[in-house]
Amino acid sequence: MLVTWKYRPRNTFIQRLDPRTRWIFLFSIILALTIPEIWDYRIVFPLFVLSLTLFFMARIEWKDVRRAFIYIFILVFFIVGLNALFFGRGGPSSVLDPSSPVLFFGVTVSKAWFAITQVTRMLTMALLAIPIPYTMDPNIYGTAFKRMGVSDKVSFTIDLAFRFLPTFARDLTITVDAQRARGYEVEKLKGGLVARIQRLAPLIIPVVMQSTVTGEEVIDAMDLRAFGTAPRSWLKELRYAARDYFMIALGVAIFITCCVLKWGFGIGGFFVPEFFTRLVT
Amino acid sequence: MNDKSTWEFGTRQVVYGAIGAALYGVFSWATNILFPLPAAGNVTFRPAVAVLIFFAVAYGPWVGLLAGFIGNMIGDGLSGWGFYWNWSLGNGLMGMIPGLIVATISDFRARSTILKAVGWGTLGIIVGMLFASLTEMFVGGIDLNTALVGYFTPAFLGNLVVTVILLPILMIAFAGVAARRGR
């Protein structure tokens, strides 16, 4: 059993970006869509195309992200999409327009368009979030958070957690092997749900208890080196390049534009475009 | 409950926050990929949640908050699902709430302590998963009904079951380790 990060170095524009730029851009898009409550397809669809373009620019192979996309699609299409289609809830009240033509089983043109918009809106955000583990070096998370203003201790906790990961994954492997040698069949957890969860205890308890002992040794080592008594220095340096300024400016501009359009000009709310009504009726 | 030791944030909290996060990530990944537990509908059972609540109860609210937030980020990262800030923060809250009783616990083996830990763990699950589900209303534009029925209820039920079953076992095991270690 090998715990491996999904991350692989690739010579792409996305990976050349500073990790802080990636976080700032992701949050800019999320905030641009959510704070001014944008439902207008003329804004949502271009942002979806932008997210899709950035996703393809990351050059992640389909076999790597297939699982993630299946999970996202089930959630977005079946739980959210169908709910929007049949009930039209979650969006602005204009979705439930009683004058909207009925297509089938109480599904109106308005609800159908809302479902399409909502699924697109959610995928726009997911397409920016999914590539992060595949394209951002796990060794740089702590530094990135520190450089974004998070405290030394919290940043170091992030850094340390990533460092502990291989150790605990190895401990889990050893525990699984040791239990197998005693006749424990990991692949054949029999019985009801409660029994099956209980039977995971022989795998979980030894690893957790060993980790608490390891923790005391690490605390002693860190205290002996006077951890926390002065600001830390960080080995990895992060520097913004021109491309980072461009992406940050783009993200911030999108956010400001969405706010101005919605609050200044009343553009960005939900409406059903004429072509869609003609298409489906 | 709000005394100094509850909210202390020193080397111990940094280290156990990191350990809790790494374990949360590893066990989340293991039960996602390695030995998946049965799921009913969209209810999934993540034994890692019991480990998170145990770390919170044993080491305090900061440890629970950091272990939940970072651990969820690691678990999603290892499974390749991306980064979802509101679910990570929800997991952090799920860890922070049970951590509030850290200063009141002296014997991890006592029945009353275990019941209290399970009770506060349940409260943590409610608060954390409710936060994550309700913020989906703003982030994803879903309605309250979908947030509660489609998101909160499955997450709450799955996490509650593993907590009720595994948290007492972890606490009793820890009582033995703590007694041997003497601190």
Residue A200 has pLDDT above 90, yes or no: no
Domain that holds residue B60: 4-181
Those residues whose C-beta lies under 8 Å from the C-beta of residue A186, and which sit 6 or more positions away, are A176, A179, A180, A203, B34, B35
pLDDT at B43: 55
Give the SS3 label for residue A103: strand
Structural domain count, chain A:
2
Domain that holds residue A156: 150-224
pLDDT at B36: 59
Predicted confidence (pLDDT) per residue in A30-56, tens digit = 999 988 989 999 999 999 999 999 999
Helix (H) or strand (E) holding A107: strand A107-108
Residue A237 within a domain: no
- pLDDT tens-place values along chain B, 183 residues long: 455 588 999 999 999 999 999 999 889 878 766 655 555 445 568 899 999 999 999 999 999 999 999 999 888 877 766 678 899 999 999 999 999 999 999 899 999 999 999 999 999 999 999 999 999 888 877 888 888 988 899 899 999 999 999 999 999 999 998 887 765
pLDDT at A281: 77
A92 and A30 assigned to the same domain: yes
Query: Two tokens at B177?
Result: 């380790």
A64 and A124 assigned to the same domain: yes
Residue B31 is part of a domain; what is its CATH number?
A: 1.10.1760.20
Whether A157 sits inside 8 A of B27 (CB atoms) is: no
Residue A12 has pLDDT above 90, yes or no: yes
> Quick check: A281 and A109 in contact, CB under 8 A?
yes
In Å, how far from its chain's centre is CA B48? 7
pLDDT at A81: 77
Across A56-60, A75-79, A129-133, the highest mean pLDDT is recorded for A56-60
B104 touches chain A (CB under 8 A): no
CB-based burial label for A197 (10 Å; 0-12, 13-18, 19+) = buried
A270 and A163 assigned to the same domain: no
Residue in chain A closest to B25 (alpha carbons) equals A165
A29 and A110 assigned to the same domain: yes
Query: Two tokens at A256?
Result: 């400001």
Predicted confidence (pLDDT) per residue in A265-279, tens digit = 999 998 899 999 888
pLDDT at B34: 60
Contacts of B158 in chain A (CB under 8 A): none
Question: Among candidates B38, B6, B24, which has minimal Cα distance to B78?
Answer: B24
B37 touches chain A (CB under 8 A): yes
Predicted confidence (pLDDT) per residue in A102-128, tens digit = 888 888 899 899 889 988 998 999 899
> Quick check: A68 and B82 in contact, CB under 8 A?
yes
Question: Among candidates B85, B86, B82, B103, which has minimal Cα distance to B7?
Answer: B103
Predicted confidence (pLDDT) per residue in A230-261, tens digit = 888 888 889 999 999 999 999 999 999 999 99
| A107, β-bridge pairs | A104
pLDDT at A58: 93
A159 and A211 assigned to the same domain: yes
Residue A4 within a domain: no
Structural domain count, chain B:
1
Residue A165 has pLDDT above 50, yes or no: yes
CB-based burial label for B150 (10 Å; 0-12, 13-18, 19+) = buried
Helix, strand counts (H, E) of chain B: 8, 0
CA–CA min distance B1, chain A (Å): 23
The mean pLDDT of chain A is 88
Whether B170 sits inside 8 A of A193 (CB atoms) is: no
